Amino acid sequence: MASKGKKQHTASGEIRQSQILSTFGPGSMVDLPDRSILIGGLNHWQGHQNQPIYEERLERRLCELFGVREVKLFAPPAQPQDPSAPRTGITSFVFPTWFVAQSDETWKTAAGKEYQTRPLIPWNRLVKGKYLSGDRKKISVVPVRFVQACLNGHISDIDWYLFVNPDCRSNCPAQLWLDEGGTGNDFADIFVRCEQCKKRRPLSDATIPGRASLGYCQGQRPWLGSGASELCRSPESDKPERNRLLVRSASNAYFSQVLSAISLPDADEKLKEAVNLVYEDFLQYAEEIAEIAKERRKQRVAMALEGFSNEVIWAEVRRRKTGGAEIQKSIKQVEIETLLSSPEEVGEDVPDGDFYAVARKIDNLSTVFSDRIERIVLVHRLREVLALVGFTRFEASMPDIDGELSIEVRRAALDLEPKWFPAIENKGEGIFIAFKKQAIADWENQEAVKRRGRDLFNGFQKWRQQRGLKEEQAKFPGLPYIMLHSLSHLLIAAVSLDCGYAASSIRERIYVGEAGYGILLYTGTAGSEGTLGGLVEVGRRIESHLATALELGQLCSNDPVCAQHRPDDEREDRLLHGSACHGCLLIAETSCERRNEFLDRALVVNTVAGLGAAFFPDNL
């Protein structure tokens, strides 16, 4: 990739395609050996058209989300094997454009305290990428660790002159110094000092809530190039957001927003395609269901509609004749309906197929499991498409429990006018476990479960109030989701010991809603590691792994502290957790669809706290 600053400068680096979607997408910062860069927006990509990715269901959802008629998906541009091929890659920009010289000097205060001090220099005062000291010696520089950003995703350099002295003329010729005491990690021990006016200010001033020490955001979007600034406004006050101090390498500097869909055969799509073949010539004249049966006596109609009942066909014909709108289904709703639809097989068993699954017999399950489990599906082939649609800073924003992105989220743009989105496709295998609706309804109606639900909801309310989020911006997922999510984490830990995959290579998808309840554990990788057959084999004896998972959940190494944690206890700052910690439920964030939030093993099994809210009894 090429990087640009106020002066043209090129540098080379390589990033995996999957990392573009998760960590190093447009607007993110990447450290190179001698500088830091900002990954350019989609308008600065070259050669992405060479790798289109198709997933109609995901494309339709993106059109709805962004209010456009058409979007396309392309894989991030890969380096061509042929040196003579057209240039591909992602343009990047040098950022930040302030640097610290690697000099070893000390500065002493009037009180006698010593600080390590280094010159703080803007890009345009460097000489061939070096700092020229007073004795004309060239000294290497590194990017300054601190920048400023706002909740809308805008980012810019800190105006260090105005920070150290608000009365100073910005970009004055005076030399600035960065004084660091101790290890340099405490903002109260880091000072910016002006050599000319002798002003000196601690960096901790920039971290005080409510103080506009870094000024108000100007809406700068340097990853989109020059002239891409926009009006910055806070939705609460309709004023510009205050700039916040951001450590360049901090984990809250960039949160990608990814929307994903599993490529499944959609029964509705097949029905529409079948009706399309004979609607104009035959079916559009039908006035009642009896006429559908009559038309099916004709060979052409019978062949087109084979496999569909007269009732289903008549419902589709009537919808077309009355101009009824199609029922909009969420991404996850279509998936679970497909997984539950066929009595035996889903998809086709072909070598290059996107999806093929077989329902396993569950006649031999123990009573504890058979009373709760409706269906087990062994997914031999699975294709997942993930699209990067935006990013946030400071606070992560995830899809809801239906796999949908909220339109209320303050999402930073990937392009000035997005017409396509970067995407990757992963192929793997998996296990799907569906749970009986009545079993979950009976469990949810128990008084102990309702009492635990109130505790979890109170914690969620306090979490939302702390962040100033409205109800439409963050919704409580409900107890069935938290229970299945916690069970999924326990099952991942149990399964990973036997299936040949590391726990971080297994991902989850939780289904909760009118369409059904279920857990899909699957592997997804761009290579061949996701198709080893381990998860399918584990699925043939999943009941033993379920028993192991439930045993793991009963006792945590941090009990009784973990089991007795109250979700609404603000002192512990774990408002979205019940009985959950790194000793029991927390797993790799790449595996979890909710960033390790909304977890409580007390809803799955009885813990030492004895709350009585468990979905599974003790006598397994």
DSSP 75: P
Q: Which band of pLDDT confidence, cut at 50, 70 and 90, is reported for residue 557?
A: very high
Cα separation of 486 and 12, whole Å? 43
Identify which has the larger pLDDT, 106 or 444: 444
Instruction: Kindly tell me if the per-residue pLDDT of 403 is higher than 50.
Output: yes
Name all contacts of 104-109 with Cβ < 8 Å and 24+ positions apart: 107/177, 107/179, 107/193
* Cβ pair 243, 147 in contact under 8 A: no
Cβ count near 33 (within 10 Å): 7
H-state helical runs in 239-329: 267-278, 289-295, 299-304, 310-322
The enclosing H or E element of 443 equals: helix 437-444
Instruction: Kindly tell me if the per-residue pLDDT of 529 is higher than 60.
Output: no
| Assigned token pair, 222 | 């340097």
Going from the C-alpha of 417 to that of each of 78, 227, 243, 530, 551, the distances in angstroms are 23, 14, 25, 35, 52
pLDDT digits (tens, 9 = 90+) for 252-299: 899 988 888 888 776 666 777 788 888 878 888 888 888 888 889 888
Strand partners, 46: 89
Q: Which band of pLDDT confidence, cut at 50, 70 and 90, is reported for residue 304?
A: confident
HEC readout, 196-246 = CCCCEEEHHHHHCCCCCCCCECCCCCHHHCCCCCCCCCCCCCCCCCECEEE
Nearest by Cα to 508 from 495, 497, 522, 494? 522
Comparing 202-211, 263-272, 542-551, the range with the smallest average pLDDT is 263-272
> Of the spans 269-273, 414-418, 546-550, which averages the highest pLDDT?
546-550
* Cβ pair 421, 388 in contact under 8 A: yes
Comparing 56-70, 182-196, 216-230, 473-487, the range with the smallest average pLDDT is 182-196
Q: How far apart are the first and last CA of the chain?
A: 56
Instruction: Kindly tell me if the per-residue pLDDT of 6 is higher than 60.
Output: no
pLDDT digits (tens, 9 = 90+) for 137-179: 888 888 999 999 998 999 999 988 888 888 776 667 788 989 8
Task: Check residue 8 and give its pLDDT.
Answer: 36
Comparing 119-133, 258-272, 360-374, the range with the smallest average pLDDT is 258-272
Cβ count near 367 (within 10 Å): 8
Cα separation of 381 and 390, whole Å? 29
pLDDT digits (tens, 9 = 90+) for 376-388: 999 888 889 999 9
* β-strand pairing of 89-90 with 105-108: unpaired
For residues 221-233, give the mean pLDDT: 89
Angle at alpha carbon of residue 575, lines to 460 and 449, rounded to 5°:
65
Cα separation of 580 and 599, whole Å? 6
